[in-house]
Amino acid sequence: SGLHAKLNALEQTWRDQEQRRFAEQFEQTLKALNKFGAASEDHISFLMRKAAHIEEYLGQR
């Protein structure tokens, strides 16, 4: 991803213990964001189905 490219560029000039810790935290955060994104997509589908049922119900009144 674009973020990985920027991290790789940063690693070319920043090489110490703090950089390693930053890179590890970056990877953990990226994994959490990816997991959140996937869960959000699933929840969006669920909410869209609920909204369709509500619209159908309201249309019958």
pLDDT digits (tens, 9 = 90+) for 2-57: 888 998 898 899 888 899 999 999 999 999 999 999 999 999 999 999 999 999 99
Cβ pair 3, 30 in contact under 8 A: yes
Report d(CA 45, CA 61) in Å as an integer: 25
Q: Is the pTM of this model over 0.75?
A: no
Domain ranges of the chain: 2-60
To the nearest 10 degrees (0 to 180), the angle between helices 17-60 and 2-13 is: 170
Q: Show the CA angle centred on residue 55, arms to residues 53 and 60, nearest 5°.
A: 95
Report pLDDT for 51: 97
| Residue 61 pLDDT class (50, 70, 90 cuts) | confident
Q: Which residue has the tokens 């213990």?
A: 17
